[in-house]
Amino acid sequence: LAQEAAGHTCGDRIAYLRGVRFLPAAAACTQVAAEFPRECGACAAGARGGGLAPSTSAGYVAASRGPQGSCRVGKTPGKSTDTWAVTEVECKAKCTAQLRCRGIEFASFAGKAYTRCVLFEQVPTHALP
């Protein structure tokens, strides 16, 4: 992760994608490795094998309108997959395990015995109230 690629380290590039684009660590590693295969290609190999360094563990940030609402990619819901009856931790783990996952929406319904996990293939840009 300390290898330099066009003026920034691979780790810095991954941190940027995670912090600004809200990508899970594996997806950020894969993207950086695709853009800089010679310098950062080892990251993608580690992501596929589950060998990410602890400093690149997945991070999740609430959408700009806070933790409530439906995620959107631009003006649409975006391409996504729904999973029901999982915990928030399991939802995040499913996203981290899938290289194409770029974000999640998780909901538990008050008074109901079920939950909803939505895995997005594009980075959600905002949430609707």
Of 89, 92, 80, 86, whose CA–CA distance to 118 is shortest?
A: 80
Q: What are phi and psi of 100, to 5 degrees?
A: -85, -10
pLDDT of residue 57: 37
Amino acid at 8: H
Q: 19 versus 5: which is more confidently predicted?
A: 5
pLDDT of residue 104: 85
Give the Cα-Cα-Cα angle 19, 108, 63 (nearest 5 degrees): 25
Handedness of CA 91, 92, 93, 99 (dihedral sign): positive
- pLDDT tens digit sequence for 37-96: 888 877 655 444 433 333 333 455 555 444 566 777 777 778 888 989 888 888 888 887
pLDDT of residue 43: 67
Q: 10 versus 99: which is more confidently predicted?
A: 10
Q: How big, in percent rounded to 5, are the helix, strand and coil portions of the chain?
A: 35, 20, 40
On the question of pLDDT at 19 being above 60, the answer is: yes
